[in-house]
């Protein structure tokens, strides 16, 4: 169990969130005696966050649950530059319009985890949604270099892994990206000025950037700042969290359906179930210990609990229960789950005979005709639970079930309904 005395660090440690903490004893004492304001930054490189962002979101959740004030910082300004941490090449630069649209899609997720000012509760711990474009976009370059840039050592910046690894591999690192760590450090100081923020949290790859902010805050304000990072989360087989063969596991329902999201967690590797229950659900630790003790076939029950609890946090309890019921109907009862993902197709296409190859690509179950052909050769393609053995097979009106759909299946776990319109 944790040696921390504050509820905040105790919860994070016992649930497996902590990798490194700067001055842990001082932060622990502060968390016991005062309300801490802490932030995590989220760049706006896509219209939705994905499962890989859940770890920092859950840290903000537990921060607030233990009586402290979280800031979700939207990177409206820093997204224009691009964080080189963990990247082998420069990010594609986005226009202000795209960044603005991405912001809209990202903001909505935080209301499901955090209580903001209009949600009531303890005013001292009300969450804040900030956007660093508010202070970065209007900076005067010369003034910024003079007032802030003079505190940064090029020698030290070159020693950070995010820079050093790119240079050692002889991969280009633009001057634009090189400035990212300065802007992130400035964010920390600006949030201290505006909200009294003294703690920045993030992934382990952010340690150097956060330490830069601590140093800048000490130099500018003679104040004590803190860093807390999480371990890099991978599956037991070494796969990166949030990535599947079908692509990223997005949190927005219009990009990944709640059912597919539920299935992602249901397919967790046995060795990861207990760890993921601690990190990605709010279940009490004693209940998690009970589930973690399940063995052999019973571990599937723990996986279903993980899937339902994780889905409930993002999509709501009712939707999560519906996804669980659909999976039960589809897999255990051999029926047709009404909330399976669906794709509309013109009825005329079915009248003419829709190629199985085209149908599976259209449904998002494959990315190319060749991929469907390989799946057919591996006996992995089914239409209405009947095995497809020929790549020349077509789907017609006769395949539409009494429920008005055609069920497409890739393997045992991926299903999409075709809905004629």
What confidence tens digit (pLDDT) does each residue in 269-300 have? Answer: 999 999 999 999 999 999 999 999 998 878 99
Task: Write down the pLDDT at residue 409.
Answer: 86
Higher pLDDT, 109 or 331: 109
Rounded CA separation 202/133 (Å): 20
- What's the distance, CA 363 to chain centroid? 24
Task: Write down the pLDDT at residue 402.
Answer: 67
Instruction: Give me 47's structure tokens.
Output: 């219209």
**Residue environment code for 185-207, b if the CB has 16+ CB neighbours within 10 A, otherwise e:** bbbbbbbbeeeebbbbbbbebbb
Task: Write down the pLDDT at residue 396.
Answer: 87
Do the beta carbons of residue 292 and residue 279 sit within 8 Å?
Answer: no
**Confidence at 89, pLDDT banded by 50, 70, 90:** very low
Average pLDDT score over residue span 20-27: 96
CA nearest to 413, candidates 278, 299, 266: 266
Q: What is the per-residue pLDDT across 342-391, written as a single tens digit (0 to 9) for each? A: 888 888 888 888 999 999 898 888 888 888 999 898 888 888 878 888 88
Rounded CA separation 91/332 (Å): 44
Q: Does the pLDDT of residue 87 top 70, yes or no?
A: no
Task: Write down the pLDDT at residue 412.
Answer: 75
**DSSP annotation string for 158-203:** HHSHHHHHHHHTT----HHHHTHHHHHHHHHHHHHHHH---EEEEE
Q: Does the pLDDT of residue 84 top 60, yes or no?
A: no
Task: Residue count of the chain, please give it.
Answer: 421
Global confidence as pTM: 0.79
Instruction: Give me 292's structure tokens.
Output: 């973690």
Q: How many CB atoms lie within 10 A of CB 9?
A: 23
Task: Write down the pLDDT at residue 332.
Answer: 59
Rounded CA separation 13/17 (Å): 6
Average pLDDT score over residue span 392-412: 83
């Amino acid at each position: 169990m944790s040696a921390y005395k504050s509820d905040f660090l105790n919860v994070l440690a016992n649930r497996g969130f902590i990798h490194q903490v700067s001055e842990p004893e001082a932060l622990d004492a502060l968390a016991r005696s005062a309300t801490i304001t802490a932030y995590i930054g989220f760049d706006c490189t896509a219209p939705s966050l994905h499962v890989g962002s859940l770890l920092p979101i859950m840290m903000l959740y537990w921060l607030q649950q233990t009586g402290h004030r979280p800031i979700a910082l939207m990177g409206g300004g820093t997204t224009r530059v691009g964080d080189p941490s963990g990247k082998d090449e420069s990010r594609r630069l986005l226009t202000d319009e795209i960044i603005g649209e991405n912001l809209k899609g990202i903001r909505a997720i935080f209301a499901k985890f955090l209580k903001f000012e209009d949600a009531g509760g303890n005013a001292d711990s009300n969450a804040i949604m900030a956007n660093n474009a508010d202070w970065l976009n209007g900076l005067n370059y010369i003034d910024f270099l003079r007032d802030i840039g003079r505190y940064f050592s090029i020698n030290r910046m070159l020693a950070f892994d995010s820079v050093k690894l790119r240079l050692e591999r002889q991969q280009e690192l633009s001057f634009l990206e090189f400035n990212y760590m300065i802007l992130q450090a400035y964010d920390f100081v600006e949030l201290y000025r505006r909200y009294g923020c003294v703690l920045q949290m993030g992934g382990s790859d952010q340690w150097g950037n956060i330490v830069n902010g601590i140093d800048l805050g000490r130099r500018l304000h003679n104040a004590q700042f803190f860093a807390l990072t999480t371990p890099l989360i991978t599956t037991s087989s070494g796969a990166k969290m949030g990535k599947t063969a079908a692509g990223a596991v997005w949190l927005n329902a219009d990009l990944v359906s709640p059912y597919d999201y539920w299935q992602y967690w249901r397919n967790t590797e046995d060795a990861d179930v207990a760890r993921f229950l601690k990190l990605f659900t709010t279940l009490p630790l004693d209940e998690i210990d009970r589930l973690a003790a399940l063995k052999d076939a019973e571990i599937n029950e723990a996986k279903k609990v993980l899937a339902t609890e994780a889905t409930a946090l993002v999509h709501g309890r009712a939707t999560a229960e519906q996804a669980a019921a659909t999976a039960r109907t589809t897999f255990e009862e051999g029926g047709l789950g009404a909330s399976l993902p669906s794709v509309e197709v013109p009825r005329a296409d079915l009248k003419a005979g829709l190629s199985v190859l085209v149908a599976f690509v259209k449904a998002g179950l494959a990315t190319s005709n060749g991929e469907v052909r390989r799946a057919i050769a591996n006996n992995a393609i089914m239409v209405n639970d009947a095995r497809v053995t020929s790549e020349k097979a077509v789907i017609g009106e006769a395949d539409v079930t009494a429920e008005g759909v055609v069920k497409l299946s890739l393997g045992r776990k991926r299903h999409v309904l075709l809905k004629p319109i």
